[in-house]
Amino acid sequence: MELRETITRIGDHEIHLRSIAGINTTIIFPGMGMMFDIGTILPKSTKIKRVFISHGHMDHIGAIGLHISHRALTGMDRATYIVPGSIVGKVETLIHSFQGVDESELRCQILGIDDRMDMGNSYYATTFKTNHRVDSQGYIIWKNKTVLKPELKEKLQQQLITQKDIQEYRKAGMDITVLEHGAEIAYTGDTTLDGISAEAKNAKILIMEMTFVGDDVSIEKARERGHIHLYELRDNFDTFKNQYIIMTHFSPRYSIPKIFSELYKNLPPSFLEKVYLGIGDRIFKFENPVLQ
């Protein structure tokens, strides 16, 4: 099976990642200056100033000290690391210990999110509680946009008014717009399927974990470990309304052809059309393995 080129752009976003269950996971959006989890450092990691961490397992947080020190070495200011509220103090202690052994000042900001975090450029972040073996949370990045009021939009569509009229209204100082917000990107981190919120299932881009895909691990075992099994998604795929779905965090026991063929066997083509796979440090668009 020969795979086509590696993807680095999905929707409006440049994306780089590395993700293998139990080894390391990090998903970087360089254009937005943010990443999800920090299980390792990639060439694009250093410039990232905002890191959303899903939980404290080492494959998701293990490279935090390296990231802080690499930014300092290259003259960058401190980055912000967002973690579940219950581990803020523990992560601060961890950084403090790193400082001790590294004998350097590791400047950073460790935060939880109570309600929402403003990210600038009309974006803000919220969290949703996920279901894993330790305290864990997923993230949603929302985008605010100013749109024409629905009643004016309708009149325009019915040709009762023209674009010129809209310009006149604007000049006259009329309030013609409303603020809309939509879920642009959602990230699940490690979780069982029922830990993915309805809002995340409606985000434009969903990055979800898909640790198990074969018969060697049962759905029950996967749940026990706080992970998703493909067979569970098979029975629930129609609840996912996303435009793009990036599956990550596959167990290293599976080869790339095995992952492709299991997906092909268990999900309908209409769903697979929107699926991308983050395996190791590459992103593939799903393709029919039989045609390869």
Kindly list the distances between the CA atom of residue 247 and the CA atoms of 21, 119, 207, in Å, as whole numbers in the listed order.
12, 25, 6
- Indicate the residue among 28 and 106 with the shorter CB distance to Zn ion: 28
Least distance to Zn ion, CB of residue 192, Å: 11
CB neighbour class for 250 (10 Å; exposed up to 12, middle 13-18, buried from 19): buried
- What is the separation, in whole angstroms, between the first and last Cα of the chain? 5
Contact 24, 18 (CB under 8 A): yes
- For Zn ion, the binding residues (CB under 5 A) are 57, 59, 190
Least distance to Zn ion, CB of residue 147, Å: 38
- Indicate the residue among 45 and 54 with the shorter CB distance to Zn ion: 54
* DSSP calls for 45-86: TTT--EEE--B--HHHHTTHHHHHHHHHHTT---EEEE--GG
Contact 35, 49 (CB under 8 A): no
For 93, the enclosing helix (H) or strand (E) is: helix 88-102
- Indicate the residue among 184 and 190 with the shorter CB distance to Zn ion: 190
- Indicate the residue among 59 and 232 with the shorter CB distance to Zn ion: 59
Least distance to Zn ion, CB of residue 150, Å: 43
CA angle 17, 193, 25 (to 5 degrees): 20
Least distance to Zn ion, CB of residue 280, Å: 14
Least distance to Zn ion, CB of residue 25, Å: 6
- Indicate the residue among 53 and 272 with the shorter CB distance to Zn ion: 53
